Amino acid sequence: MSKSIDRRDFVGIGTGALMALAAARPRFVGAPAVRRGRAIEPVVISDYSGIAFKNGGLMNAVEKAFDLMTRGSDVLDAIIAGVNIVELDPEETGVGYGALPNELGVVQLDASCMHGPTKRAGGVAALEGVRTPSLVAKGVMDHTDHHLLVGAGAQAFARHLGIAVEDDLTTERSRRAWLEWKRRTQPEQYPRPEDRARRGHEIGLGMVREGLIPEHSYWGTVHVSAINARGEICAVTSTSGLAFKIAGRTGDSPILGAGMYVDNDVGACGSTGRGEANLYNLTSYLIVEQMRRGMHPKDAGLEGLKRIRANTIETRLLNSRGQPNFNIRFFALNARGQHAGVAMYAAGETTYGVCTEKGSEAVPLEPLLEGAPTD
């Protein structure tokens, strides 16, 4: 004979069933974070520019950022101070003052920044006359409700912030390189736009091979990202873009998710190299998402490179082996403080910068493919 169930028992059973059903349903919550350890060792990472240039001072970009960050400065303020060293150094002809100009002889700069703890960002593109576009990008983040200002509007905004705007950011060195490029391209008389662009690109790469332009300056970018002991992550990317580019061309550097991306719960990633490949794949975002799924920064970075390789199918972008005929690099940092630098090829720049309490050092990049882009 079955046992009777009173009202109290029925309610209890019903409540338990509902709880079990709720537990079985998928819950749509925020994306999972990377689980942190108990202690985080502060670290700053960068591309080659962040360790190679000091603008006549005693510190490079990663050292400056690490010093300020570990003294209590906001992480973003610290790494922008480091990036400013590269932007102001006229010897780095791929970034800021003295950078290689566009096809018209005008230096146009791009930059972006992301503040992980507050989930804010800012960027500028095609900015003329300002040596430190990273500061204007931060101004966009701090003083507007927008993420990106471009061209004359970005320049006017810089003036409103009291940032100096100059008529010309070229130096004697960058002007000489531009004039040489013009001398080599002018005989073509620009028969067709597509021929002109291809010829100009071929000549530019030829000048790189001859040592007239450093390889890192031709693609011209500095990226720095960092995490402090509290687990606060920020990143900055700044560039003059592709040397002798079409006026107005904007690459990946100022675009969130392409040239740089930060999720404070997961990590950060930034890039140098062929911006169009990065824009098409939003690779920095992809790499951060791979780290969210548990991948080490190196594995996540290589996965991003594989995506670019798979999506590069145009004949003009392939070498004799059917592989991409360009290089691109990523610098990834997760919420545990683990980091890695990866490259499509172990050619040109083969190291990235790292600074910890032990000082700064150049660390080898992990390549996806053997050889060089032109092999």
**Catalytic residue numbers?**
221
d(CA 145, CA 114): 14
Write the DSSP symbol of residue 139.
H
Residue with tokens 């973003």: 76
CA–CA separation, 337 vs 284, rounded Å? 17
DSSP assigned state of 324? B
User: Which structure tokens are listed for 229?
Assistant: 């002991």
Dig out the tokens for 87 from the structure. 């932007």
Q: Decide: 155 and 147 in contact? Cβ < 8 Å.
A: no
By C-alpha distance, which of 222, 215, 216 is closest to 47?
Answer: 222
Distance of CA 120 to the CA centre of its chain: 16
Phi then psi for residue 139, to 5 deg, are: -65, -40
Question: In terms of DSSP H, where are the helices of the chain?
Answer: 7-24, 49-52, 61-70, 75-88, 133-143, 151-160, 172-185, 193-209, 215-219, 275-281, 283-292, 297-311
What CA–CA distance (Å, rounded) separates 264 from 115?
Answer: 8
